[in-house]
């Protein structure tokens, strides 16, 4: 997520249905240990920002719970951080509320004979009522909380009755090979497919129209997305797509292994805008494409277990061909594995 100044915070959260409510789950903070880098170091800032943005949406915290693996078997009253529901619009001092929530964590899940306060940055679950958001809108809320209201407005392509929603590509690509794509929260497979197709098509257009390669979408059966050939040269290209700012991407073991043994370009296309039309068609537009041509997934940029990869600072931003405002993606019947036919464009 990004704060109101545009700084990307090191904090991971998700939104999911939880019974009759929506729940925001903020992952715990941890320090460096056993060769693993620190994790979610902006936990406190992120919690404060989430509370502020939920307040803007007039959310009510029905229950706030410590939700760590150690405490999940405890009865909810024993891991609750609040005594009653909290109407965030009634809270004048959000930083004070944040401190209250973190301080309350220190005694939950502790051994009875513990002499020192425990951790105040555990994994927590905020069970919410949010006006205007239904259970099916978990992804919409997750993405909206990720950006400042100013950035959301800047990314908004129009003011139609059905405005675009900003979402992030989720944890798995459609298809049978188990490869993952993008970052974060999206669970709607049709939306995943639309964001992914837009990113892949954008990159294919660049390599074909600007750099004069023949290109093929091979993402369904290979451990990378695009094969680009020119005379005797062959490039493998891994593409990640997101509708918000993407400072890290999720990689599978096969993607990491492939990048180590075969020259592979990484291209991240983020800030993609989309909307769903009344007939179910998903339209996408725009995006920022950044490329890393010397990409071998150095260990210092990998977080073990889930392979979150944070690219180094240097990027090669690609000039993208001009395309029409929106590109329809049919909500039903899309086949991601088929070869993509390029639109007719002048180089």
Q: Cα–Cα distance between 325 and 253 in angstroms, integer?
A: 36
pLDDT score at 229: 94
CB count, 10 Å around CB of 158? 12
**Residue 186 pLDDT:** 41
What's the sign of the alpha-carbon dihedral 332, 336, 342, 347?
positive
* 292 pLDDT above the threshold of 80: yes
pLDDT tens column, 25-34? 999 998 776 6
φ/ψ of residue 140, rounded to 5: -60, -45
* Most trustworthy range by pLDDT among 158-172, 186-200, 297-311, 318-332: 186-200
**Please, are residues 263 and 238 in contact by the beta-carbon 8 Å criterion?**
no
pLDDT at 10 over 70: yes
SS3 for 120-187 is CCCCEEEEEECCCCCHHHHHHHHHHHHCCHHHHHHHCCCCCCCCCCCCCCCCCCCCCCCCCCCCCCCC
| Distance (Å, whole) CA 289 – CA 209 | 15
Q: Which domains does the chain have, with CATH numbers?
A: 13-155 (no CATH), 189-329 (3.40.1350)
pTM: 0.48
Predicted pLDDT of residue 73: 84
Q: Quick: pLDDT tens for 236-285.
A: 999 999 887 877 788 777 888 888 888 889 999 988 888 877 777 888 88
Whether 334 shows a pLDDT value over 50: the answer reads: no
């Amino acid at each position: 997520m990004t704060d109101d100044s545009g700084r990307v915070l090191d904090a991971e959260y998700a939104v999911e249905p939880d019974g009759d409510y929506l729940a925001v789950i903020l992952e715990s903070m941890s320090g460096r240990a056993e060769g693993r880098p620190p994790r979610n170091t902006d936990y406190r800032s992120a919690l404060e920002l989430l509370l502020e943005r939920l307040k803007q949406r007039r959310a009510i915290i029905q229950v706030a719970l410590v939700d760590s693996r150690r405490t999940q078997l405890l009865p909810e009253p024993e891991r609750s951080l609040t005594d009653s529901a909290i109407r965030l619009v009634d809270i004048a001092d959000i930083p004070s509320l944040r401190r209250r929530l973190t301080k309350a964590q220190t005694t939950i899940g502790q051994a009875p004979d513990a002499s020192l306060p425990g951790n105040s940055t555990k994994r927590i679950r905020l069970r919410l009522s949010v006006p205007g958001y239904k259970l099916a809108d978990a992804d919409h809320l997750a993405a909206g909380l990720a950006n400042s209201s100013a950035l959301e407005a800047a990314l908004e392509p129009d003011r139609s009755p059905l405005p675009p929603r900003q979402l992030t590509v989720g944890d798995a690509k459609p298809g049978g090979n188990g490869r993952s794509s993008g970052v974060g929260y999206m669970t709607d497979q049709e939306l995943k497919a639309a964001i992914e197709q837009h990113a892949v098509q954008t990159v294919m257009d660049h390599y074909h129209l600007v750099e004069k390669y023949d290109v093929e979408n091979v993402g369904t059966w290979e451990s990378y997305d695009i094969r680009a050939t020119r005379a005797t040269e062959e490039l493998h290209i891994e593409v990640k797509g997101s509708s918000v700012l993407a400072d890290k991407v999720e990689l599978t073991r096969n993607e990491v292994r492939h990048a180590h043994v075969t020259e592979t370009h990484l291209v991240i296309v983020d800030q993609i805008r989309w909307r769903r039309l009344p007939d179910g068609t998903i339209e996408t537009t725009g995006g920022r494409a950044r490329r890393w041509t010397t990409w071998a997934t150095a260990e210092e940029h990998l977080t073990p277990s889930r392979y979150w990869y944070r690219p180094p600072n240097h990027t090669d931003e690609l000039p993208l061909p001009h395309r029409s405002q929106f590109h329809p993606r049919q909500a039903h019947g899309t086949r991601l594995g088929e070869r993509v036919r390029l639109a007719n464009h002048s180089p």
